[in-house]
Structure 1
């Protein structure tokens, strides 16, 4: 048996951090057919993928699996995280792996260094640093959670997300780590090469960072607004909102 096949999950799909086997070999937009994104609008990783598809004007369906147990996890699959995606008859897991294979087909260069920071550092940092109010606002804005339930939803999500972050750091061995969200935003600002990180037009890093923040910006969460303010990213954020409107990302959020 080829050693690569042994790294796949029992259902034949890729685990987190592992490339699909057999290789996808997606080269052109025309090959990106029958796209379905699986994962709740609440998930910043899921929203990040949808931001790329909206930017590329690719048709897709979004399945949130809100009635699944556990909620949001795609039923009938061995991959127990979100998001994953169906494309051209294949299921692909892990947002970073998905983008690595999707971006060349839509004419964007994949930046491994920044995607790794977004997936392992920024994601973990938000899980640990978001307040109960941040989580509640995110849930209301992206999922239509009742406002009067904020007092219950916020603390519950904070506990769950902190637990997940600590588990990822300790157990997965994939590089999950706690950082400083404001420093991340300042690093992003300092590495910009024009109106955008990519120059005159958005590139991989712009869309990935914006897609990650989109739900928090939509919910006017303090953690995201503080990042934008302290890093001086107001102009960049305004341009990204015009190119990938928040309403378009969340108009079918619930």
Structure 2
């Protein structure tokens, strides 16, 4: 969007708008004092953390679960997660953050696959996850009491399905329902080596794995079945070496 679009009152960028003045993230050395704000339940938050962990960028993760149940950064004019602070400057919108982050990490951006992950895979999981999937995810990633699984799962299922239908009907961004196994098979068929990008993980590998990371850590059936049926077990094992799940969800 136009760089002349006004920033929010706190000086940070609105949704879909590049920060003004422009960020100076040219190399990894520019990524200092990094803080990621957003709960470990959030796909987008985990994706960004996956990239930072892979690149060995030191960062602090603030979930804000006790401040606000939705995990929003207190005191910000931006109402979604994730939010990142780099060298004291706040940047909003996971898409904007990622597009600025990848060049600094020396990774090429794949618009087609990123949009498929954000608009199709995310929507598909919101619609297809069972109450069991949501309960396992909540307990494993944000420490929801396991004794409340029977309550947490159905509540999250209703909330996420409602959000998915809202996104499809109102955003105009291309949110759509797909089939998670078909998406995983398409991903596998597009691989050109051990990873999507060859011998080393690239943008698509890290985005796909980052999206799935919480579900894989929680052993959610929707994710484990998808990986098994699509024949991605070896890829997942290799990604776990590159970015151990414990590095994202333990500690």
Instruction: Report the TM-score range of the alignment, normalised by the length of the smaller protein.
Output: over 0.9
Are 2:208 and 1:209 equivalent residues in the alignment?
A: yes
- Superposed, which structure 2 residues align to 1:145-156 within 5 Å? 145-156=144-155
User: Residue 99 of structure 2 corresponds to which residue in structure 1?
Assistant: 100
Contact 2:184 2:227 in 1 (8 A): yes
Aligned to 1:116, the other structure's residue is in SS state helix
Give TM-score scaled by structure 2 length. 0.95
In the alignment, structure 1 residue 238 sits paired with structure 2 residue 215: no
| Paired residues of 2:41 and 2:214 also in contact (CA < 8 A) | yes
Query: Do the aligned residues in 1 keep the contact of 2:3 with 2:17 (CA within 8 Å)?
Result: no
Provide the rounded CA distance (Å) in 1 between the counterparts of 2:20 and 2:168: 26
Partner of 1:117: 116
Structure 1 match to 2:37: 38
Assess, with a 3 A threshold, how the Cα gap between structure 1 residues 220 and 156 changes in structure 2: closer, same or farther: same
Q: Is the 8 A contact 1:82 1:94 kept in 2?
A: yes
Cα distance between partner residues in 2 of 1:151 and 1:25: 47
Distance verdict in 2 for CA 1:8–1:123, change over 3 Å: farther
1:59-118 residue CA offsets vs partner (Å, 9 max, x unmatched):
100000102235301111121111111113321112221111001111111111111111
User: Residue 23 of structure 1 corresponds to which residue in structure 2?
Assistant: 22
Matches within 5 A, 1:120-139: 120-139=119-138
1:85 has 2:84 as partner: yes
Residues 25 and 100, structure 2, Cα contact 8 Å, conserved in 1: yes
Range 57-66 or range 116-125, more displaced: 116-125
Output the CA distance in 2 between the equivalents of 1:4 and 1:10: 16
2: CA distance between counterparts of 1:24 and 1:74? 20
User: Which residue of structure 2 aligns with residue 61 of structure 1?
Assistant: 60
Aligned residues: 250
Two-structure CA RMSD over aligned residues (Å): 1.4
Gaps in structure 2 of 5+ consecutive residues: none
* Structure 1 residue 247, shift from structure 2 partner: 0.8
Partner of 1:218: 217
1:190 alignment counterpart = 189
Q: For the Cα contact (< 8 Å) 1:96–1:116, is it kept in 2? A: no
Report the equivalent of 2:50. 51
Higher mean alpha-carbon deviation, 215-224 vs 71-80, is at: 71-80
